[in-house]
Structure 1
Amino acid sequence: MPRKPNYDRTDLINRSRDLFWQRGWAGTSLKDLEAVLHMKPGSFYAAFGSKDALFELAMAQYAADGLARINALVEKHGALKALQRFPMMAIDNDDAPAKACMLSKTLLELQAHKHPLAKEANQHLLRMEGSFADLFAQAQSCGDIDDAHDPKVLARRYQSDLLGLRVSAEREGCDARAIATEIADSLARL
């Protein structure tokens, strides 16, 4: 009978997510993963198959976490207020290994090499953009945003603003909090 693994798979994925988020795909070696996960090579391969397979799981967890954060804001504050609060939340997480978005970092790092993980990162970004479009549509249905605006266009611009904000938060001397406030204030004028 096969032995039951004595590790928490979700915890391992979360720890690898943080390492990949901080260092990127190329900057994270198998030895780095084995050290952070406290696994030997055989156990690593038995659990995840490959570095790429684990990276894909880590990206999916990252995307799910982001969606859960925005959904929690929607539950508490409604669609428009959630969209307004999310930019500050994205940069105020001191526990995050990096301020920049893991998905956009992956896309930029791997797209030039036509790596399949770049396409996967882009798919996650497109799904998030679709979620933002749904929130803009909800805000319109509540009368918080004028119906003259296309929710898909608003979502595309909003996501672009968020990605720029998160890169700005990585820059020394940049007032990312002021930018987050500007993004939130701009939504109130819709």
Structure 2
Amino acid sequence: MNGLKQFVIGVLQCQSAAPSSMCMLVKTIAELTEDQADLLAEAKRLLNVMEGEFADAIRQAQTQGLINSEQDPVRMAQRLQVQFMGLRTYIRAHGETAQVVELVEDLFEHL
């Protein structure tokens, strides 16, 4: 779980230097319409792949006894994905990486 948390923090800290810190997949899903159904489907698929990777990391942490094994890892991954997307928007709006790191710490405490 610490590795996953460090990944999230690392992405959030690096994004402040990027020209657009919003997730390309999220922006693509928000911008495309059914007129570009193939591209929209691929962006959604890739976002689901990321969520699946989160779920796998959560399952592994549950197996190792690092987090509550009674919770559904898929649901936890969904919550993590939503929080991650929201934090990327938050940091873009506020530019406060230190505060975002604290928010990530809070997020992982509640997993």
TM bucket, shorter chain: 0.7 to 0.9
* Aligned counterpart in structure 1 of residue 7 of structure 2, from 72, 82, 86: 86
Match of 2:96 in 1: 175
Distance change >3 Å, CA 180–CA 83, structure 1 → 2: same
Identity of aligned residues (%): 33
Distance change >3 Å, CA 104–CA 183, structure 1 → 2: same
**Residue identity in the other structure for 2:2:** K
Give, in whole Å, the separation in 2 of the partners of 1:122 and 1:137.
22
Alpha-carbon offset, residue 189 of structure 1? 4.2
Match of 1:140 in 2: 62
* Aligned counterpart in structure 2 of residue 166 of structure 1, from 82, 88, 92: 88
The root-mean-square deviation of aligned C-alpha atoms, in Å, is 1.9
Give, in whole Å, the separation in 1 of the partners of 2:23 and 2:55.
19
**Residue identity in the other structure for 2:30:** L
For these two proteins, the number of residue pairs brought into alignment is 109
* Aligned counterpart in structure 1 of residue 71 of structure 2, from 145, 149, 152: 149
Structure with greater Cα Rg? 1
Q: Which runs of 5+ in 1 are unaligned?
A: 1-79
- 1:123-150 Cα shifts (integer Å, max 9, x gaps): 0000000000000000001111011111
Instruction: Kindly indicate whether structure 1 or structure 2 has the higher relative contact order, using CA contacts under 8 Å at least 6 residues apart.
Output: 2
Alpha-carbon offset, residue 98 of structure 1? 1.9
CA contact (8 A) 2:28 2:43 kept: yes
Alpha-carbon offset, residue 83 of structure 1? 2.0
Q: Which runs of 5+ in 2 are unaligned?
A: none
Alpha-carbon offset, residue 175 of structure 1? 3.2
TM-score, structure 1 length as denominator? 0.52
**Residue identity in the other structure for 2:90:** S
CA contact (8 A) 1:88 1:177 kept: no
Q: 2:98 matched to 1:187?
A: no
TM-score, structure 2 length as denominator? 0.85
Q: 2:21 matched to 1:99?
A: yes
Alpha-carbon offset, residue 180 of structure 1? 3.6
